[in-house]
């Protein structure tokens, strides 16, 4: 008897050790409890034996929180805490994984009223630079679980939460599970989970690790049309998919064995491409005379598989080798007995996935690593935009970073501006890994140590600004770097009062020589270099400023003049030259309160010459402001300044020529009567928004336009849009106050009412004006019409929408040829922009993102297929259209 007791004791110990080993056998698993504190905490979740740890080492932003205590008993421990992101448009986790390995990635979201607001959040989820899914929390205690099966292209991955509206993104847990690369194959794209179900006798259970060694979550499914059958015997599941025993030991069969069994679901996106996996095993002990044989078809007789006989206690898996879709988003599968069969069909488990194409290329992986190291070295986590991929997508470009976007290749970083970023220590060698860099600005920091020699090896680097670093050793410049400076292939700005090594000095040359050496390489670099040189000049008297001193191309800044004249003469044009280029003002392009715009020709290129009228309300101050702004800002959706004339009383601005005039003319039909299509309108809207977003976020200091309207959006010969007329623009503080006090300026109807009442100007004033522009684009109605019941377009649109019909406001000239979903989206966006409270308006970065989706909707409509973004929560609905030949596995 004592021997038996010892045996039982040893058996219990062995079982306990085995369970412990299983709990630790989670090779490749990364299981993050988001918001878990302190950061060193780990624990084993009781129901799954999964070891969870804090997410703190994987992200450097966000606030920790906890769901309401009353809800904790409803959930597993890993969702009790959470991390929320009230600051920043995009916040990202950085996780090291195995390149070219397939992973199941799962984000889980339980709101639990953690913030006490009872406001259900919605936001987007991204994989790297690409949208993965939209998260929409349906209830305070609802679990939203999103899964994607994705091959990791590099050895690290970024999972980002993106704010898309007024609510705050958050996440409860984030999990990564390695899979066999041979499983869940697709012809293209990654797979988002729509449903993964099995058929037990009760609906209360779900299965995941450690019964499923890959920690897939299998939800139970029951209905009134089926019954569950099961076995206690083991089922052979030995194949690459490793389906759990507990899943395959049960199956569903129809209650009415003599009738076909219909199983159907519906996808929200009717154009979604799907992959469907069906798992079969015979779990009943059949008599010698029993036969279970059935055919599977879907959507009115399309063949899926014929004469299927499930193997006894052994798994068979059937899936479509090519993605399928359905014209109405509904999949209706029929399981029907053959004439030979004596038993009804069965199904043990079902997996449904939809394809998401992640088309946006990531930035070059070495440069991403370098930027992450630079961020860590200098403690730049406080830079809100420094989250995720540095370059992609462009609307989330990191502050101070500019990139190139070659076709079919990874983005590359071409300029880095860390001016006044509180950098300390030496200049990190990670900068040398940015091999495409042309401009580097490290000015106005507290860097120390030597100027590194690796700068000389960065062959594309044309400008380095190190001024304003008093502790940086500038007494000895590396010989290799000095050679590049001497050869005029590199401009080096060191700052004032530096004692350079005399043997490295050469005779002084005027600033024009510097400009000439750089202009041939890149026009942007010219303006950049001149701006930084002259910004630090101040005259010793009231005369026009003289050229800065230069030693072999090394620029030493001087004090700036207080003279209010325009800062550079590089693009100054005389009045006789204006007369010549316009052929004595022969052809008028347009007139306004500022004066007249004439057609001209300069160096074989067409230009538009805006002559400032002597009676114009736009005086020299506005003229000077516009010139200086356009000399320092460059964007493909801002009208470029070719030159200016400041010749006595003759003031002129010479712009690039925009062949199709302004947007208002084109909307009204004054440009030949051609109606702008909805596709044209959406593209114009997004391009104008990108130009405005650049002023707000890409300029240093940021700029507020103050006169955004349809007549200031110009179109080129291809209807590409550019924002124009910057005479009222104002610079804006980078830090500190979120607004500036200024005299109200702008155009009635477009003018922000909050700005009008308070004189407080912010970038949200431009957002308001742009919202009015969006309503004009949609409706083609005047901004103010006193004949309407609601004179202002904002009020009129709101009033008309109370009828619930978007067609009542869309421009009738479109003849109904537009995407309804896109129209609703752009109107809702416009109405958010014109919210009376500036705090409730979106940023221009958000506006650009939303408009890009509207463009995608319209492109998809015209091409007959729409890119699919599906929730990975279990909401039953599916799709399929083209015939395929399934294969057994």
Instruction: Name the CATH superfamily, with its identifier, for domain 663-732+739-863.
Output: Transferase(Phosphotransferase) domain 1 (1.10.510.10)
Closest CA to 554 of 648, 678, 432, 467: 467
All CATH 2.60.120.260 domain ranges of the chain, comma separated, are 26-179
Distance (Å, rounded) from C-alpha 14 to C-alpha 377?
A: 49
Q: pLDDT band for position 864 (50/70/90)?
A: low
Alpha-carbon distance values, 235 to 198, 226, 248, 285, 313 (Å): 15, 22, 7, 13, 5
Domain 194-358, what fold? Jelly Rolls (2.60.120)
All CATH 1.10.510.10 domain ranges of the chain, comma separated, are 663-732+739-863
Tell me the range of 417-426, 537-546, 548-557 where mean pLDDT is highest.
Answer: 417-426
How many H helices and E strands in the chain? Answer: 15, 48
Q: Tell me if residue 800 falls in helix, strand or coil.
A: helix
Catalytic (active site) residue 707: yes
DSSP 283: -
Q: Does domain 26-179 have CATH number 2.40.30.170?
A: no
- Examine the pLDDT at 516 and tell me if it is beyond 90: no
- Examine the pLDDT at 552 and tell me if it is beyond 50: no
Considering only the C-alpha atoms of the chain, give the largest distance between any 2 of them, rounded to a whole number of Å: 119
Q: pLDDT band for position 741 (50/70/90)?
A: low
All CATH 3.30.200.20 domain ranges of the chain, comma separated, are 575-656
- Please tell me the predicted confidence (pLDDT) of residue 136: 94
What average pLDDT does this structure show over 520-545?
41
- Please tell me the predicted confidence (pLDDT) of residue 204: 66
Tell whether residue 504 is among the known ligand binding residues.
Answer: no
pLDDT over 90, % of the chain = 58
Place of tokens 């299927």: 308
DSSP 511: H
Q: Does domain 575-656 have CATH number 3.40.50.10540?
A: no
Full-model pTM: 0.59
Residue 488 β-bridge partners: none
- Please tell me the predicted confidence (pLDDT) of residue 618: 60
pLDDT over 70, % of the chain = 83
Domain 365-555, what fold? 3.80.10
**What's the CA angle centered on 357, arms 355 and 363, to 5 degrees?**
145
Distance (Å, rounded) from C-alpha 125 to C-alpha 108?
A: 11
- Examine the pLDDT at 295 and tell me if it is beyond 90: yes
Q: pLDDT band for position 742 (50/70/90)?
A: low
**Which of 447-456, 498-507, 636-645 has the least mean pLDDT?**
498-507
What average pLDDT does this structure show over 167-188?
96
Tell me the range of 107-111, 528-532, 644-648, 743-747 where mean pLDDT is highest.
Answer: 107-111
Query: Burial level of 769, CB count in 10 A (0-12/13-18/19+)?
Result: buried
- Please tell me the predicted confidence (pLDDT) of residue 788: 86
Catalytic member of 707, 752, 811, 819: 707
């Amino acid at each position: 008897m004592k021997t038996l007791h010892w045996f039982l004791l040893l058996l219990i110990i062995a079982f306990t050790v085995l369970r412990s080993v299983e709990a630790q056998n989670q090779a490749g698993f990364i299981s993050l409890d988001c918001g878990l504190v302190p950061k060193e905490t780990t624990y084993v979740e009781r129901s799954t034996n999964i070891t969870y740890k804090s997410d703190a080492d994987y992200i450097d932003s966000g606030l920790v929180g906890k769901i309401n205590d009353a809800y904790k008993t409803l959930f597993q421990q890993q969702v009790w805490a959470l991390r929320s992101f009230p600051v920043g448009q995009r916040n990202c986790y950085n996780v090291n994984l195995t390149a070219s390995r397939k992973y199941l990635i799962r984000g889980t979201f339980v709101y639990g009223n953690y913030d006490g607001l009872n406001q259900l959040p919605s936001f987007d989820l991204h994989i790297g630079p690409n949208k993965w899914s939209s998260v929409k929390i349906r209830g305070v205690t609802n679990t939203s679980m999103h899964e994607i099966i994705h091959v990791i292209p590099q050895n690290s991955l970024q999972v980002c939460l993106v704010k898309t509206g007024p609510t705050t993104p958050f996440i409860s847990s984030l999990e990564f599970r390695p899979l066999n690369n041979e499983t869940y194959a697709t012809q293209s794209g990654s797979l988002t989970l729509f449903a993964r179900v099995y058929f037990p006798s009760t609906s209360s259970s779900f299965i995941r690790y450690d019964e499923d060694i890959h920690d897939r979550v299998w939800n139970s499914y029951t209905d009134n049309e089926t019954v569950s059958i099961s076995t206690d015997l083991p089922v052979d599941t030995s194949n690459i998919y490793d389906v759990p025993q507990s899943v395959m030991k049960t199956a569903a069969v129809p209650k009415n064995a003599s009738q076909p069994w219909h199983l159907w679901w519906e996808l929200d996106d009717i154009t979604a491409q799907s992959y469907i996996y069906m798992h079969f095993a015979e779990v009943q002990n059949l008599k010698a005379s029993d036969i279970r044989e059935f055919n599977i078809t879907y959507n009115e007789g399309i063949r899926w598989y014929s004469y299927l006989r499930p193997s006894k206690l052994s798994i068979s898996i059937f899936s479509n080798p090519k993605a399928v879709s359905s014209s109405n988003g509904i999949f209706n599968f029929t399981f029907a007995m053959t004439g030979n069969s004596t038993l009804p069909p069965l199904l043990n488990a079902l997996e449904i996935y939809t394809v998401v194409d992640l088309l946006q290329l990531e930035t070059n992986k070495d440069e991403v690593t370098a930027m992450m190291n630079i961020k860590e070295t200098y403690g730049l986590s406080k830079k809100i935009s420094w989250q995720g991929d540095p370059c992609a997508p462009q609307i989330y470009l990191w502050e101070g970073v500019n990139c190139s976007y070659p076709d079919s290749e990874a983005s590359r970083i071409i300029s880095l501006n860390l001016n006044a970023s509180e950098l300390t220590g030496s200049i990190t060698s990670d900068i040398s890994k940015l091999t495409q860099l042309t401009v580097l600005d490290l000015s106005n920091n507290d860097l120390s140590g030597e100027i590194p020699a690796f700068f000389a090896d960065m062959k594309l680097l044309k400008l380095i600004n190190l001024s304003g670093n008093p502790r940086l050793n500038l007494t000895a410049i590396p010989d290799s770097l000095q050679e590049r400076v001497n050869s005029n292939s590199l401009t080096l700005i060191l700052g004032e009062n530096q004692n350079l090594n005399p043997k490295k000095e050469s005779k002084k040359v005027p600033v024009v020589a510097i400009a000439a050496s750089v202009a041939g390489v890149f026009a942007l670099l010219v303006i950049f270099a001149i701006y930084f040189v002259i910004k630090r000049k101040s005259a010793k008297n009231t005369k026009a400023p003289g050229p800065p001193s230069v030693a072999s191309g090394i620029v030493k800044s001087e004090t700036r003049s207080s003279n209010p004249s325009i800062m550079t003469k590089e693009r100054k044009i005389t009045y006789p030259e204006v007369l010549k280029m316009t052929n004595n003002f022969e052809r008028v392009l347009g007139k306004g309160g500022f004066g007249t715009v004439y057609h001209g020709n300069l160096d074989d290129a067409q230009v538009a010459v805006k002559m400032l009228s002597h009676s114009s309300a736009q005086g020299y101050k506005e003229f000077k402001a516009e010139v200086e702004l356009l000399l320092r800002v460059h964007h493909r959706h801002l009208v470029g300044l070719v030159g200016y004339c400041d010749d006595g009383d003759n003031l002129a601005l010479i712009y690039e020529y925009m062949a199709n005039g302004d947007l208002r003319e084109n909307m009204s039909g004054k440009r030949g009567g051609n109606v702008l299509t909805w596709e044209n309108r959406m593209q114009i809207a997004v391009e104008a928004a990108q130009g405005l977003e650049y002023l707000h976020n890409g300029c240093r200091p940021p700029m507020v336009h103050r006169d955004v309207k349809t007549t200031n959006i110009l179109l080129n010969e291809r209807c590409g849009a550019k924002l124009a007329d910057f005479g009222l623009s104002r610079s804006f503080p980078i830090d500190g106050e979120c607004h500036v006090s200024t005299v109200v300026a702008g155009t009635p109807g477009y003018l922000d009412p909050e700005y009008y009442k308070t004189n407080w100007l912010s970038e949200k004033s431009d957002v308001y004006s742009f919202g009015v522009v969006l309503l004009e684009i949609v409706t083609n109605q005047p901004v103010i019409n006193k004949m309407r019941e609601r004179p202002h377009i904002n009020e009129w649109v709101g009033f008309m929408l109370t009828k619930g019909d978007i067609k009542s406001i869309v421009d009738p000239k479109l003849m109904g040829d537009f995407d309804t979903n896109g129209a609703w989206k752009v109107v809702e966006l416009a109405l958010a922009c014109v919210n009376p409270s500036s705090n409730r308006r979106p940023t221009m970065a958000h506006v650009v993102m939303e408009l890009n989706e509207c463009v995608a909707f319209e492109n998809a409509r015209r091409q007959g297929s729409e890119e699919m973004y599906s929730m990975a929560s279990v909401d039953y609905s599916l799709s399929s259209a083209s015939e395929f030949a399934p294969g057994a596995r």
